[in-house]
Structure 1
């Protein structure tokens, strides 16, 4: 009889185990060498083809949004018990600016003529009587002025219409001389800073730390080295706390599953080799691997542990059934029995992840490829070198210690056996009832999926008190960065070269008489939003063509006359001759005009509305505010208004993330159904068996979504991956049960008897695998990163639900399937004859 490729591999591995080990170790070295060639992923933007992104790109090209060749970095100065606008504080700030400017690296990187901007510098220039006064003259003027003169200069500098207000927190009252914080803005030339790397910001960071050490005021940054230091610290803290605990739980659960130290060591060797192969294949094939890819090895650890347990438990079953068979023959039979399932699991799990190639988020696509390669690596390792090592080690130990016939999980009877066979017992009572309960639960999950919150990322949390009380090195101290970041987000407007504020681009006939009136209506609506950044006096510093015109008219009588003449009803808003008004605005203040009005050789093409938002505002609230503000403008026949900005685009990303998840779900399920239907049509003569195998997977996905809703877990990039995990692992578990059932039903006529053998043998292996992986991922619930906690929670939930669906629901589906296709004792007998021909 001609053997299939799997039988050939199994036969070679068990008969020539030493050759297999030598060849696989050599190939592992070759494959692992590829890890040195892993490339970082390119920057990709999920919403790059969305209208909001297109309009934002258009604005950056057509409008004066700042110096494109200048990058800004903010240093915050805070004194919650004092006054950062006092003479002493302002002198300290100017001295800090002088110190950083005297550093060679910083000096080379500063933008020409810009240097630093601060309230201290503006007040010093006012006291010196020269806006262009040097830093030394400003400091001298500040030092020589008395406290009364400084207070007067501060009040005049920070008037209601002053640009200096952007350096102050929202709580600051204009024209007062007291505040608890301010910020210094350092202007770097983009090219020079790029050449200098991170050193200029590092100088600022070190100077801020030095200034804060022992001083009355704290200086801090929230970018560059400050963020990097915070990130490194949180990673180390989490690893020190979670790593040992995760390893301990894995070893404890594996000890329960294997109950044998040699098996435990061989299994963990297989896990390590799988990771080496995965990273090697990623490098050789040029698959980009970024920060999101860290999920891949975590998932592969769980999957490879699962593979190992199935191989070892089936081997133990064969040895227990035929004690005289010997090590090699037992492994040959066991690997043949489980090998088909492992191959199918690899194919379907890879498909489940590869379906994410439809995702618009580049990091998810890269992670998808990495994980799919890892799944293939796991199959290679656990059907070759792992069984070969097991054969050699058991043969040696049997010679030294005698027969080591260890029973598989669940085979000893008692409560564990009764637990594993509960699904078969329920199927005997009412298979239809079990399926109906499962379907009703799934329907609730489908509804829950529409109610999930969405997030694209978040900072870690402050460690709980008990974590801070732990001894070093596992104890975690508080993170000053988090409190400072929260303060700034609550009190300051976002700035910086990489920040794009919420805004509305108005295109079309912008010289139409109604244009500015509609913008005025939109401005009033936007100002009422709770998401908008509000000063202490309650005003929202929105920038529109009207606000710019008001400021220019206040100092330019010539423009003011044109501005007022265009207002026919006295409401302060021009409603005629808008082209003449725009012309006068560009004639009087071209730099200011170009920030809100677009002009080319053909006339006026667009205008824009810029709305400062509280940094702590939710992206969904910001987007809703901007969409609402665009409505009164967009209703005009000759105008179109598009909301854009970072928050709006992130909300678009969230919408796409949601739609991509369901597209992935449909694509992966359809592909897996087609694959399994085809395979079971060839191997069992029943394509419908493949469909039945996938049904529990669809249930698991909906159950996971219901669990996310019940546990208030938002939809993030990481939790989105759990959908793929639910499909991949759900199919994994279902295939193992179905494939074992098909084998057992080939030898007996009673489907319940076949199912009992299946859930005790294969179900026991699934229990060990589930316990091990859930235990490992459960430790992530201790992480300070919400994303990691959520991922750990969802992986554990997906695994538990996959186990429940496979061991307690799938048996009822298989019973109903057997009845529906009319399998009888005669059919079973003929199948048993065919099965016997393939045994040893």
Structure 2
């Protein structure tokens, strides 16, 4: 007794123990299902490459903006989104964002929302404040000049009066000392030498003072004479000087008041870049038409620049200075607390909720008759991808089960067998998803296909076992195995080798994806291999044990459990299935040649199939109208992100559509800056670089940052000029000094393009290029690598990287996956079948013949992909290995049954007839259920799943047709030239058992 017969006997003889053990294992395995996490991040598809390492280096060492933030683009579309009312509505929408608790808790602290409307309002506010500031400054300057002039005049007058006073005192001294001296003469001398105009009245006072001095008897009279002769003479002048000083003090007080007012206005103007939204609304609302158009021109005109230029928020087709546009953009900045923003990775629940709330408010916040608002952000995109995964499962899961149930009703026509099949499928799914949980494998977009895949493959096992069991029961009386247990034992022994071979080859096909550098494809291969192994155990152990127990239980109570196998009772199905055997008997060479010719055409088409890995691949389109009629739980939601993404790609600069060139090494070498300048010029002329409405490419680089800072900072401008010896705008000496001062005057801007180590050394610089959303990823990669090659060398290493380039690398890896997995699967399956058939059948060549129809199927399916325009993506990229893994099952069942019947009957045609009507019937049933299971993926919301369902369904059809139409001819030719010595006489018309006996040859079966 062979090991397989002993195993079959154990399952059927100890069925209750087997059931208990399998159910316990099911509970243990299923416990892991609750630990599965869900991930829709496209980052998971990236492998470890030099480009990904460089991008990580950039993210770690360059300041890419405010830390832990992500942005969403809110696009307002309409007939004219630049009207005064439209900008007011946009500001009110921002206000509603900030007032909404769900949104507000995610917004960044500094400038959470900004758009053209904000800049227009700020420009208006700053314009008024600027004019007030200028008026105050003019008054201050004028008054200051007056005060300074008056102060100087007063000082001069004071000096003149003091000098005249001293001269008058000296004259009085002379008159006192010389009585003969004339007062008139002394006064005239003073008058002649003084700049103060002295008149006769003042002479009279002076003369009286002289007389009093000459007649003075005491010191008091002398002092009085001197006082009257000096200060008394100049009393009016001193009084006028005092009045002028008082007036000057008042002017000084006014000047101080104006100075304080000027400082306050300057501070207000500096803070005017962040007025409250209500202040901005009031500013725009208060503007008249002329002022509004003038301000709009200031913000959106050709000469607008710097932070107050609004062109960055306009479509790339916008004409600078125009007062009309069909769209404008608002940027909303979210705080992510260290999490991903969701563009390339997973968005937090708070971010998702916030962006969904933004979309809801946007739908109500702008006049729907004239404008339409879309929210484009990582959170809402991730939500749509996740929803499409759930909606796809909700649609295809029930449809797959429904189709399987219908197919099983047709094939089984027995309620118990149908329920057993469905129960087995459920157990297989529990084992598979439990494994995912225990193995910490996230559920992503690709794994939506796993339940459908396992449903189709699992039911194949059920159909083959049940159909063989029914065949044995119908004809088992000849061998003494007509009860449920005996028939199941023989059925398991007869079909067991085929099931093991099918499982092994299918698992090889799945595991060949381990060679793929794309991690989710590796995980998909592992999980699918585990799933198909679980299917073998469940339908090879648990379900047979359950069936013999239930059949025995019912038969003991008088129920007839003897059912006819599908395709063995004659009629239309049998006639159709016998086509292959008929052709094999009459024209086998012709059939093989036709298959070869068709395969050659398919091979040519295979070379023309494109490869695709885009963010758009994972974004669902709006579901068709028929889905609106589905029951509530199955009805999908609305999907607008794909349409929105196309609009943003065509009209705006996407925040996440960038390529970067990292330059490492001697970045302080002047030659490096020259190379960067050349690279910028080359990039600006590139077709893949997005062109702004200003007509310039959007490039961020060390040179551009220097020029921007130099335009606003005089000291840095002088440093740059001093370092530029040939006046070409590119510093060519003292580069390290230029970098040092750039970090001093503009540290944030400098850190965005230059990496300075903790030791103060300069290690790397980068150039960031906004790329067109409509540009092909391969074009972006080729162009950026070419530009990087132009920088590379002379002590620096330049690497082109960025999300777009990483996605293009994944796209190339998909093609590698297609080729490598196909070759590995073919070689591994070929070797496995050769060895297996050499051991079991004594002929390795039968293994090669069994695989050949599958090779035909591969070329047919690839040619079909070319004809249907379906590219290789993360799902369809596995189709070659799946075609081999799935398709070889049909060939194995046919070859194995043919070999067994050949031993039994000794007749090629009798063996072939029983094979195509017995196993062929089971294959037809399994193919129908598998095709239906995969076919329902065409109703999935995600495009890759739709394509995968269509292609996989066709793969099964091709594999089935190849096994029942082409393989019989191959087997006949093999038998004739390489097989055992058997009869090729015309087939006997006498009846006989159609079931396999598990490989036991029956001698002298009938008279010929």
TM-score, normalised to structure 1, is 0.88
Is 1:182 aligned to residue 321 of structure 2? no
Unaligned 5+ segments in structure 1 are none
Contact residue 198 and residue 224 of structure 1 kept, 8 A: no
Contact residue 102 and residue 353 of structure 2 kept, 8 A: no
For 2:364 and 2:105, locate their aligned partners in 1 and report how far apart those are by CA, in whole Å.
27
- After superposition, where does 1:362-401 map in structure 2 within 5 Å? 362-395=519-552, 398=555
Which structure has the bigger radius of gyration? 2
For 1:440 and 1:630, locate their aligned partners in 2 and report how far apart those are by CA, in whole Å.
47
In structure 2, the CA distance between the partners of 1:433 and 1:122, relative to structure 1 (3 Å rule), is: same
Contact residue 354 and residue 369 of structure 1 kept, 8 A: yes
Task: Tell me which residue corresponds to 1:621.
Answer: 779
Task: Tell me which residue corresponds to 1:486.
Answer: 646
For 2:720 and 2:28, locate their aligned partners in 1 and report how far apart those are by CA, in whole Å.
76
Contact residue 754 and residue 765 of structure 2 kept, 8 A: yes
- After superposition, where does 1:679-690 map in structure 2 within 5 Å? 679-690=836-847
Secondary structure of the residue that 2:905 maps to in structure 1?
coil
Task: Tell me which residue corresponds to 1:199.
Answer: 350
Task: Tell me which residue corresponds to 1:650.
Answer: 807
Contact residue 48 and residue 54 of structure 1 kept, 8 A: no
Q: CA deviation at 1:616?
A: 3.3
In structure 2, the CA distance between the partners of 1:97 and 1:705, relative to structure 1 (3 Å rule), is: same
Secondary structure of the residue that 2:502 maps to in structure 1?
helix
Contact residue 734 and residue 810 of structure 1 kept, 8 A: yes
Task: Tell me which residue corresponds to 1:317.
Answer: 471
Task: Tell me which residue corresponds to 1:592.
Answer: 749
Is 1:132 aligned to residue 278 of structure 2? no
**1:7 alignment partner, one of 5, 8, 12:** 5
For 2:998 and 2:730, locate their aligned partners in 1 and report how far apart those are by CA, in whole Å.
92
For 1:295 and 1:643, locate their aligned partners in 2 and report how far apart those are by CA, in whole Å.
35
- After superposition, where does 1:238-637 map in structure 2 within 5 Å? 238=392, 242=396, 245-284=399-438, 286-323=440-477, 325-395=482-552, 398=555, 403=560, 405-456=562-613, 457-464=617-624, 479-495=639-655, 499=656, 501-508=658-665, 510=667, 515-516=672-673, 518-555=675-712, 589=746, 591-598=748-755, 605-634=763-792
For 1:473 and 1:599, locate their aligned partners in 2 and report how far apart those are by CA, in whole Å.
56
Q: CA deviation at 1:29?
A: 3.3
In structure 2, the CA distance between the partners of 1:708 and 1:204, relative to structure 1 (3 Å rule), is: closer
Secondary structure of the residue that 1:221 maps to in structure 2?
strand
Q: Indicate the RMSD between aligned Cα atoms, in angstroms.
A: 3.8
Q: Deviations over 1:75-130 (max 9, x none)?
A: 514140342x4333333333443444345665555444443333333333333323
In structure 2, the CA distance between the partners of 1:476 and 1:92, relative to structure 1 (3 Å rule), is: same
Q: CA deviation at 1:257?
A: 1.8
Task: Tell me which residue corresponds to 2:1000.
Answer: 835
For 2:583 and 2:366, locate their aligned partners in 1 and report how far apart those are by CA, in whole Å.
72
For 2:105 and 2:439, locate their aligned partners in 1 and report how far apart those are by CA, in whole Å.
41
- More deviation, 308-317/574-583: 574-583
Q: CA deviation at 1:143?
A: 3.8
Q: CA deviation at 1:691?
A: 3.1
Unaligned 5+ segments in structure 2 are 127-268, 342-346, 986-995, 1004-1008
In structure 2, the CA distance between the partners of 1:326 and 1:550, relative to structure 1 (3 Å rule), is: same
Q: CA deviation at 1:623?
A: 1.9
In structure 2, the CA distance between the partners of 1:751 and 1:63, relative to structure 1 (3 Å rule), is: same
For 1:122 and 1:833, locate their aligned partners in 2 and report how far apart those are by CA, in whole Å.
84
For 2:867 and 2:771, locate their aligned partners in 1 and report how far apart those are by CA, in whole Å.
31
**1:769 alignment partner, one of 908, 926, 946:** 926
Task: Tell me which residue corresponds to 2:298.
Answer: 156
In structure 2, the CA distance between the partners of 1:141 and 1:575, relative to structure 1 (3 Å rule), is: same
Secondary structure of the residue that 1:451 maps to in structure 2?
coil
**1:118 alignment partner, one of 110, 115, 120:** 115
In structure 2, the CA distance between the partners of 1:157 and 1:780, relative to structure 1 (3 Å rule), is: same
Secondary structure of the residue that 2:492 maps to in structure 1?
helix
Q: CA deviation at 1:745?
A: 1.8
In structure 2, the CA distance between the partners of 1:736 and 1:194, relative to structure 1 (3 Å rule), is: closer
In structure 2, the CA distance between the partners of 1:388 and 1:472, relative to structure 1 (3 Å rule), is: closer
- After superposition, where does 1:162-177 map in structure 2 within 5 Å? 162-163=306-307, 164-177=310-323
For 2:291 and 2:320, locate their aligned partners in 1 and report how far apart those are by CA, in whole Å.
17
Contact residue 242 and residue 782 of structure 1 kept, 8 A: yes
Q: CA deviation at 1:502?
A: 0.9
In structure 2, the CA distance between the partners of 1:825 and 1:112, relative to structure 1 (3 Å rule), is: closer
For 2:889 and 2:339, locate their aligned partners in 1 and report how far apart those are by CA, in whole Å.
51
Contact residue 668 and residue 762 of structure 2 kept, 8 A: yes
Secondary structure of the residue that 2:872 maps to in structure 1?
coil
For 2:1001 and 2:294, locate their aligned partners in 1 and report how far apart those are by CA, in whole Å.
100
Secondary structure of the residue that 1:452 maps to in structure 2?
coil
Q: Deviations over 1:634-658 (max 9, x none)?
A: 4x66554322111111001111121
Is 1:88 aligned to residue 85 of structure 2? yes
Secondary structure of the residue that 2:816 maps to in structure 1?
helix
TM-score, normalised to structure 2, is 0.74
Secondary structure of the residue that 2:59 maps to in structure 1?
helix
Secondary structure of the residue that 2:70 maps to in structure 1?
strand
In structure 2, the CA distance between the partners of 1:744 and 1:566, relative to structure 1 (3 Å rule), is: same
For 1:288 and 1:74, locate their aligned partners in 2 and report how far apart those are by CA, in whole Å.
26
**2:360 alignment partner, one of 179, 198, 209:** 209
Task: Tell me which residue corresponds to 1:57.
Answer: 56
Secondary structure of the residue that 1:503 maps to in structure 2?
strand
Task: Tell me which residue corresponds to 2:143.
Answer: none
In structure 2, the CA distance between the partners of 1:810 and 1:826, relative to structure 1 (3 Å rule), is: closer
Contact residue 75 and residue 375 of structure 2 kept, 8 A: no
For 1:193 and 1:793, locate their aligned partners in 2 and report how far apart those are by CA, in whole Å.
37
Task: Tell me which residue corresponds to 1:146.
Answer: 288
Task: Tell me which residue corresponds to 1:72.
Answer: 70
In structure 2, the CA distance between the partners of 1:177 and 1:262, relative to structure 1 (3 Å rule), is: same
Contact residue 725 and residue 732 of structure 2 kept, 8 A: yes
- More deviation, 662-671/196-205: 196-205
In structure 2, the CA distance between the partners of 1:47 and 1:34, relative to structure 1 (3 Å rule), is: closer
In structure 2, the CA distance between the partners of 1:443 and 1:566, relative to structure 1 (3 Å rule), is: farther
Secondary structure of the residue that 2:697 maps to in structure 1?
coil
Q: CA deviation at 1:613?
A: 1.5
Number of equivalences: 828
Contact residue 424 and residue 755 of structure 1 kept, 8 A: yes
For 2:89 and 2:40, locate their aligned partners in 1 and report how far apart those are by CA, in whole Å.
42
In structure 2, the CA distance between the partners of 1:15 and 1:356, relative to structure 1 (3 Å rule), is: same
For 1:126 and 1:611, locate their aligned partners in 2 and report how far apart those are by CA, in whole Å.
29
Contact residue 293 and residue 366 of structure 1 kept, 8 A: no
Contact residue 494 and residue 615 of structure 1 kept, 8 A: yes
For 1:320 and 1:204, locate their aligned partners in 2 and report how far apart those are by CA, in whole Å.
64
Contact residue 746 and residue 832 of structure 1 kept, 8 A: no
Contact residue 622 and residue 639 of structure 2 kept, 8 A: yes
